[in-house]
């Protein structure tokens, strides 16, 4: 796919410098001047404490500002330099680093993963043998969407990257290899380890050396410096009962996340503009360094996997096609190619977009959990440049859109109802149960209740509430970390519990869920104890 680009005045364009071809304030879209008000409205409407936004066109920064608060308790304001988690907008960094690694190591995108990571193994031997470096980034592995995410979230994870790659062999395919789009974080983590293996140094060091340093970005794929921790955004969620509340488990505390290559990089809006300007400048940094070649950019921003176009895409953006490239999504918005990606992590939202034929790039980072905030602000900015006559209230549009989705959800969401009793004495269901890849769950009796603890994922602790027969409902202690789930025990003819399975707490029957590849066998079932 050929992406239309306008000629740039100078490839060595200095960052945050007005040039002869740069837009002047007078030529800015009038609706861009309302951006402060739009952002403030979005923050209030979607219960988001703070947001940092950057807009750059023709090499001139038109907007780089923080609104709201990075820490509500201390009333610390967001600035353009405040650090946020990038969530899945991190994937473009992994893709770019892999492109560099392929070229510098004399490989191709068709190089097999097992040539670099001999331990890599999918469930199907043929797929293992044929899996290429390109396949790691295109979301068409054959696995179900989100397969393996239970090893990553809720943070903190007890799984290492070595564990994650080893456990790929236990994940059951949901479709044929390369046949369907299904979003995969674990494949990007695998790509990160390919990069580390090729350079014989940690993933975070490679990202810093190959991308952050030449672009003069004060961003982090690994541990943060003490100085950087002075301006980080706290993560927040919201519900009607609690209002806005902090999510400490996802906060930026300085340590590297196991999920860095898929969604754990930390950066600011100011530095993300440097990253985006490099792409618009065909791979050239502000200092003139060639970070990516034009050939690499063409490969990274080519369509590989078809994505569905929704009715809302057509109505709002006039979209005719959508596809996934490598760490980027491609779509047409009223006839303009838009290269973008979103990022979602409980407590953080990100959105980056480039419009090459407008020489335009936008970054939005916030510390809330409602996608309406980032979506409404991005729509306002994009439409200001692409269709200036479009004066819609995008905050209200998202309010209406979410209300319709909620109505559909409530109409179809029937809460399961059981007898409230189980067959055996509760003590019979206690013990230690082990799954071959997820590890152990321990169930104990305490104060007439059954408690469950995951040995690998410390945030997964909860209480078992009797549902019916040999089934309980797990009420997780941290409702933001995990949704309620069914836990069903298998019992033999001697009325001994032999194992258990987990399922989503819903009346709907589905095989596509986070527990689908887990089965926990009872350990020492004859030795039950409180």
**What residue segments make up the domains of the chain, in order of their start?**
426-523
Exposed, middle or buried, 352 (CB in 10 Å: 0-12/13-18/19+)? buried
Which of 292, 268, 479, 255 has the alpha carbon at shortest distance from 367?
Answer: 268
pLDDT of residue 293: 96
pLDDT of residue 11: 29
Output the six-digit token pair for 515.
């527990």
Residue holding tokens 């859109």?
Answer: 401
Taking the mean position of all CA atoms in its chain, how far away is CA 24? 35
Taking the mean position of all CA atoms in its chain, how far away is CA 93? 13
The whole-number mean pLDDT for each consecutive block of 10 residues of the chain, a chain of 530 residues, reads 31 32 54 92 98 97 98 97 98 98 98 98 98 98 96 95 98 97 98 98 98 98 95 97 95 94 98 98 95 97 97 96 98 97 97 98 98 98 93 96 93 92 97 98 95 97 98 96 96 96 90 92 62
At a CB cut-off of 8 Å and minimum separation 6, what does 170 contact?
123, 436, 437, 517
Bridge partners (DSSP) listed for residue 521:
434, 499
Whether cis (ω within 30° of 0) applies to the bond prior to 156 is yes
Does the pTM surpass 0.85? The reply is yes
Output the six-digit token pair for 471.
């089934």
- The answer to whether 444 and 174 have CB atoms below 8 angstroms apart is no
At a CB cut-off of 8 Å and minimum separation 6, what does 394 contact?
38, 375, 376, 377, 379, 380, 383
Looking at domain 426-523, its CATH class is mainly beta
Please provide residue 240's backbone torsions phi and psi, each rounded to the nearest 5 degrees: -65, -30
Bridge partners (DSSP) listed for residue 84:
267
Which of 216, 187, 190, 192 has the alpha carbon at shortest distance from 204?
Answer: 192
Using CA atoms, how far residue 358 sits from 22, 348, 383, 395, 462, in Å, is 11, 28, 12, 24, 51
At a CB cut-off of 8 Å and minimum separation 6, what does 519 contact?
435, 499, 500, 501
Q: d(Cα 154, Cα 250) in Å, to the nearest integer? A: 8
At a CB cut-off of 8 Å and minimum separation 6, what does 243 contact?
47
């Amino acid at each position: 796919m050929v992406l239309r680009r306008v000629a740039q005045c100078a490839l060595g364009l200095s960052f945050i410098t007005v040039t002869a071809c740069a837009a002047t304030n007078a030529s800015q879209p009038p609706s861009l001047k309302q951006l402060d008000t739009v952002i403030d409205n979005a923050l209030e409407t979607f219960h988001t404490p703070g947001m940092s936004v950057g807009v750059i066109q023709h090499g001139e920064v038109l907007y780089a500002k923080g609104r709201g608060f990075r820490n509500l308790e201390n009333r610390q304001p967001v600035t353009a330099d405040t650090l946020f988690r990038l969530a899945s907008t991190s994937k473009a960094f992994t893709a770019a680093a892999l492109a560099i690694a392929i070229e510098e190591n004399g490989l191709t995108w068709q190089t097999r993963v097992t040539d670099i990571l001999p331990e890599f193994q999918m469930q199907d031997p043929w797929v293992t043998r044929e899996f290429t470096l390109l396949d790691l980034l295109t979301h068409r592995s054959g696995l179900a969407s989100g397969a393996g995410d239970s090893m990553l979230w809720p943070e903190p994870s007890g799984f290492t990257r070595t564990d994650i790659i080893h456990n790929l062999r236990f994940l059951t395919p949901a479709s044929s290899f390369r046949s369907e789009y299904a979003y995969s974080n674990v494949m990007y983590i695998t790509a990160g380890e390919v990069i580390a293996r090729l350079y014989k140094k940690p993933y975070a060091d490679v990202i810093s050396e190959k991308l952050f340093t030449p672009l003069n970005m004060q961003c982090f794929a690994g541990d943060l410096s003490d100085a950087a921790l002075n301006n980080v955004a706290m993560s927040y969620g919201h519900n009607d009962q609690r209002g806005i509340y902090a999510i400490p488990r996802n906060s930026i505390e300085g340590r590297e996340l196991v999920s860095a290559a898929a969604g754990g990089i930390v950066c600011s809006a100011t530095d993300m503009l440097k990253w985006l300007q490099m792409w618009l400048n065909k791979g050239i940094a502000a200092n003139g360094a060639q970070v990516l070649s034009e050939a690499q950019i063409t490969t990274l921003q080519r369509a590989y996997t078809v994505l569905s176009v929704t009715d809302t895409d057509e109505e709002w953006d006039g979209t005719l096609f959508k596809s996934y490239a490598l760490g980027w999504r491609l779509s047409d918005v009223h006839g303009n190619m838009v290269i973008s990606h979103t990022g979602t992590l409980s407590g953080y939202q990100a959105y980056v977009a480039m419009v090459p034929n407008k020489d335009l790039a936008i970054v939005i980072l916030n510390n809330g959990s409602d996608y309406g905030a980032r979506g409404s602000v991005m729509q306002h900015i994009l439409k200001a440049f692409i269709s200036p006559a479009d004066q819609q209230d995008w905050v209200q549009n998202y309010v209406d859109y979410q209300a319709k989705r909620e109505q559909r959800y409530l109409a179809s969401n029937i809460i399961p109802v059981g007898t409230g009793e189980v067959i055996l004495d509760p003590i019979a269901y206690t013990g230690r149960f082990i799954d071959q890849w997820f590890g152990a769950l321990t169930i104990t009796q305490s104060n007439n209740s059954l408690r469950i603890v995951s040995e690998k994922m410390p945030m997964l602790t909860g209480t078992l509430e009797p549902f019916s027969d040999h089934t309980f409902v797990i009420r997780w202690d941290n409702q933001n970390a995990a949704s309620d789930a069914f836990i069903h025990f298998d019992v033999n003819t001697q009325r001994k519990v032999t194992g258990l399975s987990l399922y989503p707490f819903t009346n709907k029957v589905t095989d596509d869920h986070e527990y689908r590849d887990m089965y926990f066998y009872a350990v020492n079932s004859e030795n039950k104890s409180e």
